[in-house]
Amino acid sequence: MVAKTPPMGWNSWDCYGASVNEATVRANAEFMAKNLKEYGWEYIVVDIQWYEPTANSHEYHPFADLCVDEYSRVIPAENRFPSSAGGKGFAPLAEYVHSLGLKFGIHIMRGIPRQAVRDNLPIKGCDKTARDIARFNSICSWNPDMYGVDAAKDGARAYYDSIFELYAGWGVDFIKVDDICRELPHVEAELIMLSDALHSCGRDMVLSLSPGPALPEKAELYKEISNMWRITDDFWDKWELLHDMFSRAQTLCIHAGAGHFPDCDMLPIGNILQDYDKANTTKFTKDEQVTMMTLWSVMRSPLIIGGEMTRFDEFTMSLLTNRELLEVLNNTHSAHPLFRRKTEDGEEIAWFTSHVNGESYYIALFNAGETERDISAALPIEREFAAYDVWSGKTAGTVNGTATARVKPHGAKLLKLTAVN
């Protein structure tokens, strides 16, 4: 099974937008291999526009010339990914990432390049052309590079078979597909066809769907055909977006399980938006970052790092190397909120989850208010427990009936509860 536990990795978008290059990808892969691999971090994902030679920021260039092969498929821009020269594609970069003991991923847009349709290029494996399968009224509202593919047209499946054949040949392990997750039902047939083609290509790949918000009524479909699916639009370092995630998590946490995970999006930590200013760092406070990591882990969202890893400080590394927190991510089940209580300056929130060993539990207490406070939560299990503070790494006495902790504004406490006797 692919993605038995929530995927953990790095994606280039938060740092570099559309402008990432091979040297940067290699440097971050080397950092992950040296400093994070032992904790379970493994995916290195090249985000959008890797096929555009002129991409240079988070901004898109409508109708820019793209690198497209003779079969209507985008290929890496050689000026940004030099090892792809000579028709090698991403195979050399993927091979290097694999040599570090990691896995390699790419972002793609749903559909077929409008450039290929303009030039009426052929589709590999059939007698149809790009123009024959294009859905001309299906264009992404924020990036016009692609037309949708009409799943009812002859040649449509051959096109998707051909791109995943190409990616499998490169050694790709992770595919993030954009302009698709929230676009149901009008692209549902294309999504199902895309998923079928990926799962028939002969290589295991994680299938990630973006952007959100995912439609709750389509949760069973997402679970059937993909491994992770975004529950939000792009998530950035703003408290209001983090606070809003509690509502999204409450609605969709029940769908997390082996092989399929609701995705809260990337972790905007450390240095981000590097194409604008090298001095840019996350606007989240340390306490807000603890809250984010706690919520993502308890609800078992994939953890995809957004920051430039080679510049991480000690605090940022501590967020990613807490083994007990990663135990929550990988080996718990049935996470759910216990309550959301209004306070004079915000609210108190509590979540509870169970370890697969049947002997340990975790309770997360969140302060979504503006002042430090004691938060108490009645436990759903009547036993005496030894408590361990996951973030401080210290024992926290015994708990019987009610768990209480002092929590900073916008912060969180995460307690591991182990049955006594």
**Which residues of the chain register pLDDT less than 50?**
none
User: Is 294 in the same domain as 268?
Assistant: yes
> What's residue 13's pLDDT?
98
**For position 259, what pLDDT does the model report?**
98
Q: Domain boundary residue among 272, 304, 330?
A: 330
Q: Both 326 and 339 in a single domain?
A: no
Q: Specify whether 164 is located in the same domain as 100.
A: yes
Whether 1 maps to a domain, the answer reads no
Q: Which long-range contacts (CB under 8 A, 24 or more apart) does 75-83 make?
A: 75/51, 76/50, 76/51, 77/50, 77/51, 77/52, 77/53, 78/53, 79/53, 80/20, 80/21, 80/22, 80/50, 80/53, 80/55, 81/21, 81/22, 81/50, 82/22, 83/22
| Predicted local confidence at residue 346, as pLDDT | 95
Number of helices (H), then strands (E), belonging to the chain: the values are 12, 19
pLDDT at 84: 98
Query: Looking at residue 358, what is its pLDDT?
Result: 92
pLDDT tens for residues 365-410?
A: 999 999 999 999 999 999 999 999 999 999 999 999 999 999 999 9
If asked whether residues 253 and 366 sit together in one domain, one would say: no
Same-domain status, 323 and 349: no
User: According to the model, what pLDDT value does residue 188 have?
Assistant: 98
| Residue type, position 419, single letter | A
C-alpha distances (whole Å) from 237 to each of 242, 272, 363 are 8, 10, 25
Are 192 and 276 in a shared domain?
A: yes
CATH code at position 217: 3.20.20.70
- CA 91 and chain centroid, separation: 23
Q: Using omega within 30 degrees of 0 as the cis cutoff, is the peptide bond preceding 185 cis?
A: yes
**CA-wise closest residue to 149 among 109, 118, 181:** 109
Read off the DSSP letter of residue 90.
T
Q: Tell me the residue type at 226.
A: S
In whole angstroms, what is the distance from residue 165 CA to residue 67 CA? 18
pLDDT of residue 421: 76
Is residue 94 a part of any domain in this protein? yes
Fill in the amino acid letter for 358.
G
Strand order of the β-sheet with 412-419 is: 332-343, 346-355, 360-367, 412-419, 384-389, 394-400, 402-407, 373-378
Q: What's the pTM value of the predicted model, to 2 decimals?
A: 0.97
pLDDT tens figures, 316-370: 999 999 999 999 999 999 999 999 999 999 999 999 999 999 999 999 999 999 9
- Reference 183, options 131, 235, 228, 222; nearest CA is 222
Q: What is the CATH number of the domain that holds 404?
A: 2.60.40.1180
Residues 180 and 278 in one domain: yes
Range of the domain at 109: 8-330
Q: Which amino acid is at 116?
A: A
Report the alpha-carbon distance of residue 223 to residue 44 in Å, rounded.
Answer: 23
Q: How many structural domains compose the chain?
A: 2
